[in-house]
Amino acid sequence: METRSLGPGAPDEGAVTIGGMPLSIRDRPDEATGIAVLHAVLDAGVTLLDTADVYCLDHKDIGHNERLFAKALKTWSGDRHNLVVATKGGMVRPEGGWEHDGRPAHLTQACDKSLRALGVDRIDLYQLHTPDPSVPFADSVGALAELQKQEKIRWIGLSNVSVAQIEEARALVTVVSVQNRLSPFFREAIETGVIAHCAEHGIGFLAYSPVGGGRLNKKLPTHPVLAPMAERLGASPHAVVLAWVMAQGPNVIPIAAGRSVKSALDSTTVASLKLTADDLSSIDEAGFSIAR
């Protein structure tokens, strides 16, 4: 698989990342299927796996996806050279809701729990899941700096951040990666200059929800621009969209996902799918409605 730079001081990783969220939230598959999905993408050359402590059903289920990753890696017989597992802290799931908690004390506790769930002594890439409006951003980033000093985490990443927040964090730590939303439906990472800023500073950009997420990805197979393009290229519309996401910058690594081996493996084919300038322009100019 083609590789791309994860960020300053980190190794190059497979050009497509697999995220574990669908394997642990509502309508998740059984554990055996989840492990089979992870084994399949690892065998296909994926070297970066993305998870979070809150990829679960609710507060009683915290760490489900991290534990699933740990079980999958324990039973995988492949080469772990350059394999990176990224997780996140900074959110909570009270009664199944999604809430911020960027307090340093919470981040410290969350990191310790993630270490146990993943069964490791040090987390490869630990990301602040999202800024907490009720906590000074510098305090949350400072907590990650302290965890790195304690050698509980190797690299620091940010998620759901602006250019200004990236710069505020860079004054305190080395930011290896930024994980923000990017798809043809949601292009704010392009429009606000986050991708370009990351590229300028050698920071990897991990694109989450690259095919829209949830109900939106179901619109892709019948999209009037994507459907004929996918047929001509001999690829799925989802793979074509992932290729468009990758084309937004040499530092962009899409976080694909799947609840089945078939859908997850389809995402890994994008690394060899090349869109022409006309293809890219057609998608750039196409409408992608988020209306139901």
Is 172 in contact with 156 (CB distance < 8 Å)?
A: no
Question: What does the H/E/C string look like for the chain?
Answer: CCEEECCCCCCEEECCEEECHHHCCCCCCCHHHHHHHHHHHHHCCCCEEECCCCCCCCHHHCCHHHHHHHHHHHCCCCCCCCCEEEEEECEECHHHCCEECCCHHHHHHHHHHHHHHHCCCCEEEEEECCCCCCCCHHHHHHHHHHHHHCCCEEEEEEECCCHHHHHHHHCCCCEEEEEEECCCCCCHHHHCCHHHHHHHCCCEEEEECCCCCCCHHHHHHHCCCHHHHHHHHCCCHHHHHHHHHHCCCCCEEEEECCCCHHHHHHHHHHHHCCCCHHHHHHHHHCCCCCCC
Is residue 55 part of the annotated active site? The answer reads: yes
Cβ–Cβ under 8 Å, residues 240 and 217: no
Task: Report the distance separating Cα 213 and Cα 277, nearest Å.
Answer: 25
Query: For residue 157, which amino acid is it?
Result: G
- Dihedral of CA atoms 103, 251, 153, 65 in degrees, nearest 10, equals 80
Name the active-site residue from 10, 13, 22, 55. Answer: 55
Give the number of other Cβ atoms within 10 Å of residue 142's Cβ.
Answer: 16
Provide the annotated active-site residues: 55
